[in-house]
């Protein structure tokens, strides 16, 4: 059983967006890369990744350079041997998980298409209700409260609030938002590694009275050894994000008592293959997970929804990436939103592709 890789098309997939600010910086374009892995089986697989340099250390340009090298490694090989193909990438380079995730996605798209199944069924999953939060970037407490009210009026039920720039102001941001939206909205926060240990203790103890569901990544990863102490002092539950790239990280975080929850992102794990291992380690330890992301279009978002359907231990959904001010939608097919609830058809594979008109405006490389 084979689908031999004949060629790979690589696109600089830049999506203009409303500027978006987190603790580590501001982006005005989604720095994405899109690939098509062509096979002799009469169909191709699609992959997309979103470079977030201030988090993962990859840029769109580094992804494009590595993509050309990866494509050379894979030409003439069997796309259906997913483990072997991914091991070739890992043997070639450590890290570079963002661009690896696009290649991983394309393999799973090919495998599911070959089986004539939607990806979630290929992965052994079933559909369930998935309702995303919506993210508020860092601004003044007043501006963030206004955004929160607008999201609530638009039907949002769960807010994810970016913090991590000045712990004292962060407490004022949460106070303003909670007072503006009332008691019925869920609020979760993400410090994006922005606090020191003392700031994290202060902020988490101060915002706890505002009914906070959890806090993502309060400190830089080099303070991971301080997380068990923070867990004891924080009345707010802690979710590991940048502290968990792979299933070994997940095991270390959980067994050291460093987190209540784990955020899985394809750009960190290198794609579905490793994400499943993280999910399974967390499930074995009764540690619920969240499906997160960078600034992917609905193409990669579609693969994430399939993964969620096949991952019962994913209990939280931060799947609003293309609602965060993308000024163009380059996707055909794929995920649809009903308010903040996500759905997808039962088309074979991921069920999403890039719009040809959008691709015409993208820089392209073929290997």
Is 241 a catalytic site residue?
A: yes
Is 104 a catalytic site residue?
A: no
Residue 356 to residue 177: CA distance in whole angstroms:
41
| Given the residues 199, 241, 249, 296, the one annotated as active site | 241
Closest of 298, 239, 292 to residue 269, by C-alpha: 292
Residue 214 to residue 189: CA distance in whole angstroms:
6
Three-state SS for 287? coil
Angle ∠(63,271,27) on CA atoms, nearest 5: 50
Is 126 a catalytic site residue?
A: no
Residue 340 to residue 319: CA distance in whole angstroms:
9
Query: Is the separation of the CB atoms in 89 and 105 below 8 Å?
Result: no
Is 199 a catalytic site residue?
A: no
* Helix ranges (DSSP H) in the chain: 53-56, 60-74, 82-92, 97-114, 119-122, 141-153, 167-181, 197-207, 227-233, 247-255, 266-269, 272-284, 298-309, 356-360
| Given the residues 9, 109, 199, 216, the one annotated as active site | 216
Is 184 a catalytic site residue?
A: no
| Given the residues 48, 104, 133, 190, the one annotated as active site | 190
Closest of 167, 184, 168, 170 to residue 136, by C-alpha: 170
Closest of 32, 27, 105, 39 to residue 269, by C-alpha: 105
| Given the residues 162, 165, 268, 304, the one annotated as active site | 162
Residue 315 to residue 10: CA distance in whole angstroms:
34
**What is the set of active-site residues?**
162, 190, 216, 241, 265
């Amino acid at each position: 059983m084979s689908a031999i890789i004949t060629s790979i098309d690589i696109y600089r997939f830049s999506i203009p967006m409303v500027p978006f600010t987190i603790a580590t910086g501001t982006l005005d374009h989604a720095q994405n890369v899109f690939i098509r892995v062509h096979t002799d089986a009469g169909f191709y697989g699609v992959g997309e990744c979103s470079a977030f340099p201030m988090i993962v250390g990859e840029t769109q340009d580094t992804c494009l350079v590595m993509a050309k090298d990866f494509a050379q490694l894979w030409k003439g090989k069997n796309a259906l041997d997913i483990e072997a193909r991914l091991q070739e990438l890992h043997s070639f380079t450590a890290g570079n998980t963002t661009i690896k995730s696009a290649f991983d996605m394309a393999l799973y798209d090919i495998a599911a298409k070959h089986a004539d199944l939607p990806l979630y069924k290929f992965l052994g999953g079933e559909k369930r209700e998935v309702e995303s939060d919506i993210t508020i970037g860092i601004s003044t407490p007043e501006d963030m409260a206004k955004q929160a009210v607008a999201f609530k009026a638009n039907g949002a039920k769960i807010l994810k609030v970016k913090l991590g720039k000045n712990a004292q102001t962060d407490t004022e941001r949460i106070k303003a938002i909670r007072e503006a939206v009332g008691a019925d909205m869920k609020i979760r926060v993400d410090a994006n590694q922005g606090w020191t240990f003392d700031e994290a203790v202060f902020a988490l103890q101060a915002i706890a009275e505002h009914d906070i569901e959890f806090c993502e990544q309060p400190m830089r990863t080099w303070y991971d050894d301080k997380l068990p102490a923070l867990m004891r002092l924080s009345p707010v539950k802690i979710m590991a994000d940048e502290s968990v790239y792979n299933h070994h990280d997940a095991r270390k975080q959980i067994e050291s008592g460093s987190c209540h929850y784990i955020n899985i992102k394809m750009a960190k794990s290198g794609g579905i293959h490793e994400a499943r291992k993280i999910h399974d380690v967390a499930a074995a330890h009764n540690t619920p997970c969240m499906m997160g992301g960078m600034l992917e279009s609905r193409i990669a978002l579609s693969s994430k929804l399939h993964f969620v359907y096949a991952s019962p231990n994913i209990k939280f959904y931060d799947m609003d990436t293309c609602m965060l001010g993308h000024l163009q939608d380059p996707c055909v097919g794929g995920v649809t939103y009903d308010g903040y609830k996500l759905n997808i058809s039962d088309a074979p594979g991921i069920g999403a592709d890039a719009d040809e008109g959008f691709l015409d405006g993208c820089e392209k490389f073929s290997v």
